[in-house]
Structure 1
Amino acid sequence: MNPRDRRAARHQPGAAEAAPRRRALPITVEQVVDTALDLVAAEGYEALTMRRVATALDTGPASLYAHVVNKADLDELLIGRLCGEIALPEPDPDVWRDQLHHVCAQLRDQYLKYPGISRAALAAAPTDRQVARIGEGLLAIALAGGAAPGDAAWAVDALVLHVASYCLELAIARRKAAHEDAAWVLDREELRRRLTALPAAEFPHTTRHAAELTAGTGHERFDFAVRLLIDGLARR
């Protein structure tokens, strides 16, 4: 099966149950994905190229194309692998809000293991079976909570988008902070000082509430935004 046919087969009914075919080449799709994830974990998503993966596998880029159509296909495989690690609960109307939050937190933690990889999730169509599984699970939970189908569908999209963008922003900030002249981006005291130093007449609210604007530790801001979205869905 050539790479394009293999990619198409992933989206066909019953594809998940189909037995994998043996390949003549020593390199497998699983090895390509493993190697790509190791590269991203070590150097960040921006370092990921087909050539870098090929070099790590001690082969040429042409060998990869026997298994992966292109970089976009590799991105889809990577996000699918991470989504496959997420456990979905049986939808429960009594705790549906906590269930949505927990799934989002799992997805966040998967993305943060691989700096910047959520960029691939932002650009990927949600048709990979594992990615679609997450969408199906989130939708089922929202519907169990009593949300109208249209509201549930858009809320799921907003939640997944927030997870990906949050992780990407954090990855970018950490990369910037690695340079001495930009270390302040993760220094809350320095950021607060810069905000309070703004002209108060021009920025009265920013200078007055600099502490609130820079507050939050760990994933407190992430949790706040996710809860805000979920509470908004509940009110509708």
Structure 2
Amino acid sequence: MPRDVRPGAAGVDPEQLWLPPAEPRKGRRPSFSREEITVAAVALADTEGLEAVTIRRVAAAVGAGAMSLYSYAPDKETLLELMVDHVSGELTVTDPPSGDWRADLKTIAHLQRAHMLRHPWLSSALSTRRVPGPNTLAFLEHALAALRPTGLDGAAKLEVFAQLTAFVAGHVAHEVAQAAVAQSPDRAAAEARYLATVAADGRHPELARALSAPGRVLTPEATFTRFLNRLIDGLDTD
């Protein structure tokens, strides 16, 4: 049973949320575990989106009254912390870093992209500051080890990882949005006609040149890899 994790004015208290209590809680054994509740919340978000995740909906999913869940997750902010860290447990890396930090960072980014595509709500949840839980910290530890050959100081390594994660989250959010557009052929065609009209009006010569350039492979994977290579290959460790 977790400690009382009620947030104060500054948000969720990470010590209360993630560290074990100094003394075990006495009383009747709880009917539900924090993991059961978190799993139910993740399932809701995966199928219906983050907006569907409420304490009431999660309580109904596990067969509990809403009030009984408040000692586990008093609000959605706390629930999101639990959800983000829970799914971060999927980011298991068994092999040690190769020593080629650029290659290792690219591998990490591809893992993150696949992970966020499995959970489309995650890129949005990561847009606000999250306090890393145990699963998130395990993946961060691997990323920092991959950056050891760079010689960067600790703060710079953390910045690089934050930059990489933000890039992946932003790209996945765009990718998910583009996939939704692709499901509507009429809208996609209208966007193409609009850009063609604008490019031909004479007031946007750079756009016209860009649109007339030879095409590239536009699969989501190929596009992500191109953008990622530009980011990682351009990182300066001096």
* CA distance in structure 2 between the partners assigned to 1:168 and 1:31 by the alignment: 27
Higher helix proportion (structure 1 or 2): 1
The equivalent position to 2:15 in structure 1, one of 2, 8, 27, is: 8
Offset of 1:24 from its aligned partner?
Answer: 2.1
* Counterpart secondary structure, 2:64: coil
Q: 1:165-197: CA deviations, max 9, x gaps?
A: 22223334445666x5x863xx4x654432121
What letter is aligned with 1:8?
E
What is the TM-score with the length of structure 2 in the denominator?
0.79
Distance 1:169 1:84, change over 3 A: same
Task: Map 1:146-165 to 2 at 5 A.
Answer: 146-165=151-170
Distance 1:22 1:207, change over 3 A: farther
Distance 1:34 1:41, change over 3 A: same
Q: 1:139-180: CA deviations, max 9, x gaps?
A: 2212224445454332211101111222223334445666x5
Offset of 1:21 from its aligned partner?
Answer: 9.8
Instruction: Report the aligned-residue RMSD.
Output: 3.2
Say whether the 8 Å CA contact 2:44–2:53 is kept in structure 1: yes
Gaps of 5+ in 2: 7-12
Offset of 1:136 from its aligned partner?
Answer: 2.5
Partner of 1:233: 235
* CA distance in structure 1 between the partners assigned to 2:127 and 2:197 by the alignment: 36
Identity of aligned residues (%): 23
Task: Map 1:11-160 to 2 at 5 A.
Answer: 11-12=18-19, 24-88=29-93, 89-93=95-99, 95-160=100-165
What is the TM-score with the length of structure 1 in the denominator?
0.79
Distance 1:98 1:8, change over 3 A: same
Q: 1:35-74: CA deviations, max 9, x gaps?
A: 1111112112222222221222232221211222321111
Gaps of 5+ in 1: none
* Counterpart secondary structure, 1:79: helix
Name the stretch that deviates more: 143-152 or 120-129: 143-152
